[in-house]
Amino acid sequence: MSMPPRISPAGDIPSLLRSHPLISGLPEAAFRRLMAEAVPGDAEAGMVLLRQGGASDAAILLTEGTAEVVSETVSGEIRLARVEAPALLGEIGVIAGLPRTATIRALDRVRFLSVGKEIFNRLADESPSVLRHVVGRLGGQLKSMNSAIGAYTDALAALENETFDQSVFDSLNNPSAELANFAETFRRMAEQIALRQRQREELAGATAIQRAMLPDPLPKDREGRFDFFAAMQPAREVGGDFYDAFFLDADRLVVTIGDVSGKGVPAALFMAVCQTTLRMTLRESAPEKIAEAVERANGLLEMENSASMFATFFGAILDLRDGSLAYCNCGHNPPLVQRRDGTVEALPSGGIALGVVSPADCETRTARLNAGDRLLLFTDGITEAHDPRGDLFEDDRLHASVAARAPLDAHGLIEGVFEDVHAFAAGAPQHDDLTCLAIGYRSVQAAG
């Protein structure tokens, strides 16, 4: 975003900020450095401080005035919250490394301090209280989000089953205090349900959410140690597949894939929650502790999950120096490993889906990719694709499809799998998302 002009902060800003729960736990030296490095700014009423979809390159400490949090959808803006100084905004996106999930706009004249991504992440590394605060904030948002998903699910089920009665209508028009920030959204939803025009907009919104959460392309590895490609083909009826790929450091790559239960807006919302939560917890994970990171995410997802939604999940950390792979599987389809000689094998699996129960008894397992091997992650939309007679594509056909593409790179492999699935379906309707992610390991020696 374009920054407003620098100003000299007015009032006793250090004392005001010290009253904020996150700042109060900072050591004095860290607090002084924050005050010295943060960039002051101001904005008039109506000006945008953070824009939905933009890069999370800074968090904002609101020191004076009031702002609103809005979600920009295909059917207009939805007001989510009103915040007053002192307040911290945009910190979850900075920590998780994800685009802005909402727009922050000034309601009157505001003053703030902009804390750059590097500065904020350094604070998080040096002061555990910062991460505790961010995780606590995320937990509160998850609680409200899960409650909202529950109300949303009830309303959609009533509409689908033609059992919409006054009690559901009243719950939307008169939400509980915990859901006060969603009051406007629920009232608009009730109006749309009454007019029988909501479904198309919901599916369009779900598609937008799903596409917005896909990761940016991975940066090039200067040593050429891996070959990566991922693709998703959404079904006509939106599902909840997700995948992610990001570096922990120069030598360790995280890859994940998951599939949320259900379809439509509730599934897309829960998918976004899963994606953000897992990226935050895995970002600080060591390979041998990947299960602990996934377990922390599961605890947050299971909390106040009144809609009983869940997600199968597979996550792995690949060490590009030696091909060692640490992974955790929570009820997801076993990924395939294609060895250099063309043979295909499935990684041992186990575990239960996320969001069902806490603890989920997640387990860290290990494997190794040798130079020329590759790993294929996929969702059940691949193996459960069906032809006009109702026969399923299943694992054997997938193994054969992968084996036939042994000479190709990761891009060619996934394109070939999709081609085989569509050829098998022979025009039968696609009822679930098709998602695949492939990473070929070359190793330092092979790359050289």
Domain membership of residue 71 (yes or no) is: yes
Domain membership of residue 4 (yes or no) is: no
- % residues pLDDT > 90 (the chain): 43
Stretch 82-107: mean pLDDT, rounded?
88
pLDDT at 10: 41
Residues 141 and 190 in one domain: yes
**Residue 57 carries which side chain, given as an amino acid letter?**
D
How confident is residue 215, by pLDDT bands cut at 50, 70 and 90? confident
Length of the chain: 448
- Pick the last residue of a domain from 102, 124, 146: 124
Domain membership of residue 207 (yes or no) is: no
Phi-psi sector, 130: left (phi>0), alpha (psi -120 to 50), beta = alpha
Residues 167 and 98 in one domain: no
**Cα–Cα distance for residue pair 273/324, rounded to 1 Å:** 29
**Cα–Cα distance for residue pair 224/231, rounded to 1 Å:** 21
pLDDT digit string, tens, across residues 353-410: 999 998 888 999 999 999 999 999 999 999 999 999 999 999 999 999 999 999 999 9
Sign of CA dihedral 188, 194, 197, 198: positive
Residues 88 and 146 in one domain: no
The total domain count for the chain is 3
Residues 192 and 317 in one domain: no
Residues 113 and 148 in one domain: no
Stretch 62-77: mean pLDDT, rounded?
86
**Cα–Cα distance for residue pair 277/295, rounded to 1 Å:** 11
Residues 163 and 254 in one domain: no
- Pick the last residue of a domain from 124, 154, 187: 124
Residues 254 and 329 in one domain: yes
pLDDT digit string, tens, across residues 282-313: 988 787 889 999 999 999 998 867 778 899 99
Residues 168 and 276 in one domain: no
Residues 41 and 182 in one domain: no
**Cα–Cα distance for residue pair 75/195, rounded to 1 Å:** 15
Stretch 197-220: mean pLDDT, rounded?
67
**Cα–Cα distance for residue pair 360/342, rounded to 1 Å:** 35
Alpha-helical runs (H) found in 262-376:
264-283, 290-302
Domain membership of residue 270 (yes or no) is: yes
What range defines the domain where residue 394 resides?
A: 216-447
Domain membership of residue 168 (yes or no) is: yes
pLDDT at 2: 40
pLDDT at 3: 43
The model carries a pTM of: 0.61
Residues 85 and 221 in one domain: no
- % residues pLDDT > 70 (the chain): 75
Residues 6+ apart with CB under 8 A from 295: 358, 359, 360, 362
Least confident of 139-143, 180-184, 320-324: 180-184
**Cα–Cα distance for residue pair 317/312, rounded to 1 Å:** 18
Angle at alpha carbon of residue 136, lines to 132 and 141, rounded to 5°: 150
User: Residue 220: is its pLDDT beyond 90?
Assistant: no
pLDDT at 27: 78
Tally of CB atoms within 10 A around 76: 9
Domain membership of residue 205 (yes or no) is: no
Residues 262 and 394 in one domain: yes
Residues 118 and 141 in one domain: no
Structure tokens at 41: 């700014």
